[in-house]
Amino acid sequence: MSHFEKIKYKLIPVSELLLEMKNLSELMIDLAYSAALFNDRDLAEDVIELEKRVDNLAYQLEMTIMVAARDPKDAEALTGISKVASDADKISDAAADIAAIVMQNIGVHPIVSEIFEKVEERLVKAKVAAASELVGKRLCELDLASQMGMDIIAIRRDKDWIIDIKEGEQIREGDTLIARGTSTGIKEFKELVEGVQLKAEE
Amino acid sequence: MTQRKQFEEIVERFVELKDTSELMINLAYSALLLNNRDLAEEVQKLEEHVDRLHTDFELLALSSDFKKEEARGFLGLIRLGVAAEKIADAAAEMAEVVLRGIEPHPVLRLTIREAEETVMHAEVTGASPLANKTLKEAQIPEKTGMRVLAIRRGGKCIRPKPESKIEAGDTLIASGYSEGEGDLRRMAAPP
């Protein structure tokens, strides 16, 4: 049995809750497809964890909306938001369904991954090592996109997920970076993030 | 047909299914933000298209000859399709909010994107500098401030990717600040 957290009302602006639901649900789709197509259990586990988070947010948002509605006019205006939030929740459910393909050891036919690798970029996770030259750098100082065709789409810092990454965000040791790119870029990226000395290997 | 060829065809359908469902999410959020019925109707049309695509995809996957030990791998594929369809459904429901005439709450503007004031359709003529360029080469956001939401080609609606090529006769659906609208229009169809 999975554990369900007790939800208590907190004063959080609706816009913040909805934005987080929107961002997380979109990130989850990307993570989930990559997990399923490339049989990546690690990514699938993240999706399952995020799905719980979105569920909690959905409860929070529902409560906040109920508190905010004072008259029929409010109710009409807020229904739209409630609907959008429940749809974002559905999207995150769909992502969890995709992740379940990996978690339940069903898997996707290997030829599919092979073909997919050619047409689509995939996601990769890498943990920033103390020795990495990325430590302390701001995102805007890096030019990973033109250097190796990699795009950082999220940062996991302890329990937090940073999705709306600001240009000035500083990379810290221990951060997990989630990036999108081609298979050649991914290799280079992992080496850079995990602080593997290229020259020492040669 | 070789097994590889069959798979390529199945994957091709699936990529279209996946891309279309993700395109629908973007269009649905823009439709909500701009309270734009045209975009919302576009999402509804795409939902019907996705239903057909999904059926084609499932039939194709089920009618290919696979061995007993490959059943799991096929089940995984089928489930991927079901999830993509579910995503498309959610997008269609979001667009429905607009079609039901529910006024967008100001919070939506805070949430979705502040840089959107307007949505436009622009047909690309043969004389346009955009024709035969990829979206990356065309640099539309840099030059006009407009973001391409979708490319309509014939009856199809294509999700814009950096490597997507713009062709003469395409209609670009784009959003952004109203100042950029004229610029993009002139770029798409030079006078």
pLDDT per position as a tens digit, B137-147: 889 988 898 88
Hey, is A166 helix, strand or coil?
coil
Q: Is B18 on the interface with A (CB under 8 A)?
A: yes
- A69 and A127 belong to one structural domain: no
Helix (H, G, I), strand (E, B) or coil at B54: helix
Give the other-Cβ count within 10 Å of B164's Cβ: 18
Chain A interface, best mutation among B5, B111, B164, by max A CB count within 10 A: B111
Instruction: Say if A146 is an interface residue toward chain B (CB within 8 Å).
Output: no
| Mean pLDDT along residues A166-183 | 89
pLDDT of residue B65: 81
Q: Which of A103, A132, A157 is the last residue of a domain?
A: A103
pLDDT, average across residues A98-126: 87
The segment with the largest mean pLDDT, out of A71-75, B55-59, B68-72, is B55-59
What is the band of A8 on the pLDDT scale with cuts at 50, 70, 90?
confident
A5 in any annotated domain: no
Domain presence at residue A44: yes
Q: Are B104 and B30 in contact (CB under 8 A)?
A: no
Residue A199 has pLDDT above 50, yes or no: no
Q: For residue A112, is it within any domain?
A: no
Q: What is the pLDDT of residue A54?
A: 96
For residue A132, the SS3 value is: coil
Query: What CATH class has B3-106?
Result: mainly alpha
The whole-number average pLDDT for the span B49-68 is 91
Inform me whether the pLDDT recorded for A201 exceeds 60: no
φ, ψ for residue A177 (rounded to 5)? -95, 135
Using an 8 Å Cβ cutoff, are A96 and A32 in contact?
A: yes
Task: Sort out which chain A residues have CB atoms less than 8 A from B70's CB and list them.
Answer: 109
Name every chain A residue with its beta carbon within 8 A of the beta carbon of B3. Answer: 111
Report residue B114's pLDDT band, with 50, 70 and 90 as the boundaries.
low
- Specify if A9 maps to a domain: no
- In A, which residues are within 8 Å of B82 by CB distance? 97
Q: List the single range of A42-46, A129-133, A192-196, B82-86 with lowest mean pLDDT.
A: A192-196
Nearest CA-CA distance, residue A156 and chain B, Å: 22
- Whether residues A138 and A180 share a domain: the answer is yes
Superfamily of domain B115-188: Regulator of K+ conductance, C-terminal domain (3.30.70.1450)
In this prediction, residues A127-133 reach a mean pLDDT of: 91
Q: Which of A54, A73, A103 is the last residue of a domain?
A: A103
* Distance in angstroms (rounded) separating the CA atoms of residues A154 and A169: 11
Residues in chain B with CB shorter than 8 Å from the CB of A74 are none
Q: What is the mean pLDDT of chain A?
A: 88
Chain B CB contacts of A116 under 8 Å are 11, 15
Q: Which residue has the higher pLDDT, B35 or B111?
A: B35
**Yes or no, beta carbons of B90 and A88 under 8 Å apart:** yes
Q: Greater confidence, A29 or B147?
A: A29
**How many other C-beta atoms can be found within 10 angstroms of the C-beta atom of residue B58?**
17
Residue indicated by tokens 């999402």: B43
Output B89 or A159, whichever has higher pLDDT.
B89
The larger pLDDT score, comparing residue A200 to residue B29, is at B29
Domain of A140? 121-201
What tokens does B183 get? Answer: 């610029």
Domain with CATH 1.20.58.220 in chain B: 3-106
Which one has a higher pLDDT value, B34 or A97?
A97
Identify the pLDDT of residue B123. 92
CA angle A36, A37, A41 (to 5 degrees): 40
Which residue reads 């769909």 in tokens?
A: A94
Query: In which band, very low, low, confident or very high, does the pLDDT at A202 lie, cut at 50, 70 and 90?
Result: very low
Residue where one domain finishes, among candidates A68, A103, A138: A103
Residue B100 predicted with pLDDT over 90: yes
What's the structural domain count of chain A? 2
For residue B163, name the pLDDT band (cuts at 50, 70, 90): confident
CATH code, domain carrying A176? 3.30.70.1450
Helix H or strand E encompassing B174: strand B171-176
Distance of CA A26 to the CA centre of its chain: 8
Average pLDDT over residues A39-58: 94
Q: Does B114 touch chain A (CB under 8 A)?
A: no
pLDDT value, residue B79: 95
Claim to verify: residue A33 and residue A86 sit in the same structural domain: yes
**Torsions phi, psi for A66 (to 5 deg):** -60, -40
CB contact under 8 A, B107 and A108: no
- B118: pLDDT confidence band, cut at 50, 70 and 90? confident
Radius of gyration of chain B (CA): 19
- What's phi and psi for A182, nearest 5 deg? -85, 170
Cα–Cα distance measured from residue A18 to residue A104, given in angstroms and rounded to the nearest whole number? 30
Q: Which residues pair with A7 in a beta bridge?
A: none
Please compute the mean of the pLDDT values over residues B157-175 and round it to a whole number. 88
Full-model pTM: 0.87
pLDDT of residue A174: 94
Give the Cα separation of B103 and A8 in Å (integer).
Answer: 30
Residue A98 CA to residue A115 CA, distance in Å, equals 18
A154 and A99, same structural domain? Answer: no
Q: Do B87 and A29 touch (CB under 8 A)?
A: yes
Query: Do A79 and A150 fall into the same domain?
Result: no
pLDDT of residue B112: 65
Phi-psi region of A162 (alpha: psi -120 to 50; beta: other; left: phi over 0): beta
Q: Are residues A127 and A184 in the same domain?
A: yes
My answer on whether A131 and A86 are in the same domain is: no
How far off is chain A from B83, nearest CA to CA, in Å? 5
User: Is A38 a domain residue?
Assistant: yes
Q: Is A153 on the interface with B (CB under 8 A)?
A: no
Residues A20 and A92 both lie in one domain: yes
Q: What is the average pLDDT across A123-152? A: 87
What pLDDT does A90 receive? Answer: 97
For A29-55, what is the HEC assignment? HHHHHHHHHCCCHHHHHHHHHHHHHHH
Find the range with the poorest average confidence among A43-52, A53-62, A178-187, B10-19. Answer: A178-187
pLDDT of amino acid B113: 61
